[in-house]
Structure 1
């Protein structure tokens, strides 16, 4: 057994012991569903495994994957995590009241938030904006006017794999800046404009980090996906190194960010990358069940009550349609976690107000019983609940607000 396999197995075993749901259920027996639960034993084990996979490089925490300040604090207290990767500028302004390093992972067009940033020297020193075109710079200048404190910006390098002369694009469609020459040209434009500092480069290889390479189904499709990911990692490693060198010939950089939960092993081997990004792996949602290199322990759950028994073989939950973003498909649906063996019906699936379940345990469920489910993605669960109950061992040790629970809705 290799060191990597042993470590991943240890995490799964520690978080998935036979009595796991016994203790989770006992700890939350006094709560009224629906409610959200974080198993801290699994959360901490996942954090340790992310640090192991990062192999010494700091991990910038993706806040959209947690959406709870209490759990952001918990992760950032660990030695392997450093800084936040946010998702909107208003969120960054809020987080920067407490945290001193927030990179906004996506461009902003929020003029009010830009004016707030430019008017506050402390916030401007803590927040870095994402840009990938001159229009972003123009919008910032138009919103803020001349400013005493430079706005820090990060150049997003398109990390997708482009084939057939660019006609085939494999990966997220993010930045128009793809080549080292394009990166250097844009860096020169930033350097020539007063009021800006180019602080870093970011590239997110979603075609590697966000696609499990061990999906059930066709072996041929798995083989093609793995070949694409191997090819993409090699191509990107060379291109990113060249782009970083080209930009550093124009201006110094504070950081080069890359990767995601699903690609830490490959991205950390790139010398040009100074920090990684991850967050979903802490919660271990359903979409991360199908990777060969690692297997996070499920740490985030939501619990719904049985409210109907339309037949002897069906138990119906109240609600359940907490479907994840992305291309519509079964992999975006929640996953029944306990009791094991439950599944949705083909005609109704997960519904807005009710979800009929069938399967082995369904006939034994009674009105008022609870079913534990997992969201397909990580932080989106927190848009459905106002608080998370943190279970350590066999008790709820703390109940903390989500962003929603603090009255914050950023996207």
Structure 2
């Protein structure tokens, strides 16, 4: 029996829609992520890629993992009750959450804010005022590749801190500002970590992407090392974070890196099917029922339009996984309330049958369901709440 058939058998008693995490694949992926660092860095778990506190705890208890990379301050405040080292990967403008942070000495000692400008310091001071515990901060160093004097920008638009001098200037401003303590530097090379280098389609486009990624990796390694050296002349750093699931080997090999942020590789979503260096086991799925048979060759699922964020394209649609041999229709795709499917496997589907899909991204799946059904071997061993299931809507 194939693994998908085994998962389907273990969950056949459940009424869809529901979500499943294959714990055996999940644990294997967690071990593989740590192995890929070569022991040169630890992994800071990107919580947005998991979005379930029980599974976050399961991963962070493993060797090779240390700390959490959160995505909002309210989320970080929740997680800091159980985790001692939480860095927020993005700046915050949440005044109420900042006041809660400043009023909680334990949270202030455990949570690090992300900043990339003096304006962020001003915003915090305006929100919480003086007479508070020191706020720990991390500088977000832009990791994009810039060519032709910045006229070409390849990578996410994140931080205005690009050069070593930019980083040193901001580090000096933090050092001179009462109420703040600089503890880290982070940079995320999304043009490397977030883009699979083995995409289907044009060989020329694949070759161009790989060439860009090689050039970007070399440029960033030199610039990041210079930036860290410049910052550490001003303040000692507790951590230097970089990379993502797609660039663990490269990023970990840089001598200034102490940790890599990663998490998507745990669930193994659809966008990670197109990397040459690694291939996580598919571990997270959602299951929909067949509710219509409009023709003998088409079966229609309830819902299905669980579309991933990012640039609009076919790669943001879910992947039909089981039964094999299904495909989306070109005119409807995955829809809000229904998804027609074609292919040989569709001919034999009956009302109530289960069809398994994978989300294109990792944690976004959890915004659609309240619980994750955990399967180990051939048995559902537990069900755990997602953030949504705990009545949290962080972003």
1:238 aligned partner: 222
Show CA shifts across 1:189-227 (max 9, x none). 000000000010000000000000000110000000000
User: Which residue number corresponds to residue 180 of structure 1?
Assistant: 164
Aligned to 1:23: 6
Q: Quick one: distance in 2 between partners of 1:206 and 1:148? A: 35
Post-superposition CA distance 1:109-141 (Å, at most 9, x none): 000000110111100000000000011000000
The answer to whether structure 1 residue 153 and structure 2 residue 137 are counterparts is: yes
- Consecutive unaligned residues of structure 1, counting only runs of 5 or more, are 1-17
Q: Does 1:42 align with 2:25?
A: yes
Could you tell me how far apart the structure 2 residues matched to 1:88 and 1:159 are? 21
SS of 1:361's equivalent in the other structure is helix
Distance, in Å, in 2 between the alignment partners of 1:351 and 1:220 is 33
CA displacement at 1:55 relative to structure 2:
1.1
In the alignment, which residue of structure 2 is the partner of 1:3?
none
Cα distance, 1:148 vs structure 2: 3.5
In structure 1, what is the Cα distance between the partners aligned to 2:364 and 2:321? 18
Residue aligning to 2:85:
101
Residues 301, 374 of structure 1: 8 Å contact kept: yes
Give me the whole-angstrom Cα distance separating, in 1, the residues matched to 2:346 and 2:18. Answer: 21
Distance 1:134 1:244 in 2: 19
Cα deviations by residue, 1:64-84 (Å, 9 ceiling, x for unpaired)? 000000110110111011100
Counterpart for residue 364 of structure 1:
348
SS of structure 2 residue aligned to 1:166: coil
Q: Is the 8 A contact 1:200 1:256 kept in 2?
A: yes
Q: 2:213 aligns with which of 221, 229, 234?
A: 229
Is the partner of 1:114 in helix, strand or coil?
helix
* TM-score, L = length of structure 2: 0.99
Q: What is the distance in 1 between the residues matched to 2:268 and 2:150?
A: 34
RMSD: 0.6
2-structure distance, mates of 1:163, 1:379: 33
1:162 aligns with 2:146: yes
- CA distance in 2 between partners of 1:178 and 1:110 (Å): 25
Tell me if structure 2 keeps the 8 A contact 1:118–1:147: no
Q: Residue by residue, what CA displacement relative to the aligned partner does 1:350-382 show, whole Å, maximum 9, x if unpaired?
A: 110000000110110000101000000000000
Given that 1:342 and 1:362 are in contact with CA atoms closer than 8 Å, whether structure 2 keeps it comes out as: yes
Q: What are the residue-to-residue correspondences of 1:123-142 with 2, within 5 Å? A: 123-142=107-126
2:322 is aligned with 1:299:
no
SS of aligned partner of 1:175 = coil
CA distance in 2, matches of 1:119, 1:389: 37
Whole-angstrom distance in 2 between the partners of 1:82 and 1:360: 46
| Paired residue secondary structure (1:194) | coil
How many Å apart are 1:52 and its aligned residue? 0.9
Q: Distance in 2 between matches of 1:53 and 1:401?
A: 29
CA distance in 2, matches of 1:159, 1:280: 19
TM-score by length of 1: 0.95
- What is the Cα deviation at residue 25 of structure 1? 1.2
8 A Cα contact 1:244 1:272, kept in partner:
yes
Does the residue aligned with 2:342 lie in a helix, a strand or coil? strand
Taking the aligned partners of 2:79 and 2:33, their CA distance within structure 1 comes to: 23
For each residue in 1:36-73, what CA deviation from the matched residue of structure 2 results, as whole angstroms up to 9, or x when unmatched? 00001110111111011111111000000000001101
Which aligned segments of 4 or more residues in structure 1 are displaced greater than 6 angstroms? none
